[in-house]
């Protein structure tokens, strides 16, 4: 294979109760990237559209991932990369993760599938570290594995792919402001109350049990974050208003996607998702701020090949 074009999905991380450990991929929102083998051992980013990102391969998340993988594989070729960003950086929907995971996936195909999915997550985490000063795996693992994932351990890295009940749907609103991951981390407490930790652990267990048993009521009851959300929601205009609108319209639960400002809601059907989308749109219509609303199935497959030869 000398050329590949891929779709790398946007992702929702944390999923309310699973800070830095839970995530899932979105079906119809993401980036398109191309990778072309070249005879020289250079890595070049030749085009970026949809967002203003650095072309410098040492500053660009995708560039860092590609360089490291080619070096470790002792590749005798270089790669030219193009990137079309399908959604905004700083949205809380895993923009840097789509680039990082997409780079790892694309290069691996040109290398003849030399690396496992778990190894691809490790490489993609290097891109996350460059982009947001945090070597986290929840977004990139969701993009690579597809569906819901649990980062069971970081040392050693252990990723568990979780079931995705077929009726689950996502509705998300992205207020047109930007929140950097490193800034969102600064508002978090250094210590938490043991009682709160117990509640949060129980919610994580409940959410995973609900995914396995397709118990939508249990999923909804478990989508509660009492540790991170109370601090980060202050960065998101009208967060409570949007969340209440989603819940009143029938959403199973709602919370902050990643570091924000995107607010996500999980729903049990297309009909409920449509009602939630309308309710969220109405709640934000007159606040004097631009926004985008997304409605989607859960992406069960992760990154996909669009074209190759």
Q: CATH number, domain at 151?
A: 3.30.230.10
Contacts of 159 by beta carbon, 8 Å cutoff, 6+ apart: 117, 118, 121, 137, 141, 145, 149, 150, 151, 152
Q: What does each C-alpha distance from 73 to 59, 68, 76 come to in angstroms?
A: 21, 9, 9
| pLDDT by residue, tens only, the chain of 309 residues | 999 999 999 999 999 999 999 999 999 999 999 999 999 999 999 999 999 999 999 999 999 999 999 999 999 999 999 999 999 898 999 999 999 999 999 999 999 999 999 999 999 999 999 998 889 999 999 999 999 999 999 999 999 999 999 999 999 999 998 888 888 889 999 999 999 999 999 999 999 999 999 999 999 999 999 999 999 999 999 999 999 999 999 999 999 999 999 999 999 999 999 999 999 999 999 888 999 999 999 999 999 999 999
CA-CA-CA-CA torsion for 73, 75, 78, 79, nearest 10 degrees? -40
Angle at 220 between CA 217 and CA 222, to 5 degrees: 110
Residue 236 burial by Cβ neighbours in a 10 Å radius (0-12, 13-18, 19+): buried
d(C-alpha 258, C-alpha 183), whole Å: 12
Residues 208 and 182 reside in one and the same domain: yes
Could you tell me the residue range of the domain that residue 250 belongs to?
169-297
d(C-alpha 75, C-alpha 37), whole Å: 10
Query: Which residues are annotated as catalytic?
Result: 128, 181
Residues 59 and 133 reside in one and the same domain: yes
Domain final residue pick, 162, 193, 221? 162
DSSP 147: S
Contacts of 165 by beta carbon, 8 Å cutoff, 6+ apart: 211, 214, 216, 219
Assess if residue 268 is contained within a domain. Answer: yes
Assess if residue 104 is contained within a domain. Answer: yes
Residues 103 and 137 reside in one and the same domain: yes
Residues 42 and 157 reside in one and the same domain: yes
Domain final residue pick, 132, 162, 192? 162
Number of structural domains the chain divides into: 2
Domain final residue pick, 162, 190, 212? 162
Assess if residue 307 is contained within a domain. Answer: no
d(C-alpha 257, C-alpha 22), whole Å: 11
Assess if residue 95 is contained within a domain. Answer: yes
**Region class of 297: left (phi > 0), else alpha (psi between -120 and 50), else beta:** beta
Count how many Cα atoms sit within 13 Å of the Cα of residue 271 in the half-sphere of its side chain: 0
């Amino acid at each position: 294979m000398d050329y590949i074009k891929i779709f790398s999905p946007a992702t929702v991380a944390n999923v309310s109760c699973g800070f830095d450990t839970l995530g899932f991929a979105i079906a119809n929102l993401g980036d398109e990237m191309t990778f072309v083998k070249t005879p020289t051992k250079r890595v070049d980013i030749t085009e970026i559209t949809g967002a203003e990102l650095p072309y410098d391969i040492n500053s660009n998340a995708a560039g860092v991932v590609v360089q490291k993988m080619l070096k470790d594989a002792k590749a005798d070729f270089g790669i030219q990369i193009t990137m079309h960003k399908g959604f905004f950086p700083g949205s809380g929907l895993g923009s840097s993760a789509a680039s990082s995971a997409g780079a790892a996936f694309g290069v691996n195909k040109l290398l003849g599938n030399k690396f496992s999915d778990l190894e691809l997550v490790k490489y993609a985490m290097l891109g996350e570290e460059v982009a947001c000063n945090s070597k986290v795996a929840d977004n990139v693992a969701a993009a690579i594995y597809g569906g819901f994932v649990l980062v069971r351990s970081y040392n050693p890295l252990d990723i568990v792919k979780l079931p995705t009940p077929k009726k689950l749907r996502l509705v998300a609103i992205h207020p047109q402001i930007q929140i950097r991951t490193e800034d969102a981390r600064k508002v978090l407490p250094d210590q938490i109350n043991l009682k709160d930790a117990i509640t949060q652990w129980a919610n994580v267990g409940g959410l995973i049990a609900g995914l396995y048993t397709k118990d939508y009521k249990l999923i909804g009851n478990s989508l509660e974050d009492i540790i991170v959300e109370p601090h980060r929601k202050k960065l998101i205009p009208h967060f409570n208003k949007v969340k209440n609108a989603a819940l009143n319209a029938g959403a199973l639960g709602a919370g902050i996607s990643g570091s924000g400002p995107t607010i996500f809601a999980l729903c049990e059907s297309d009909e409920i998702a449509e009602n939630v989308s309308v309710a969220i749109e109405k709640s934000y219509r007159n606040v004097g701020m631009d926004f985008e609303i997304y409605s989607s199935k859960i992406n069960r497959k992760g990154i996909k090949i669009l074209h190759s030869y």
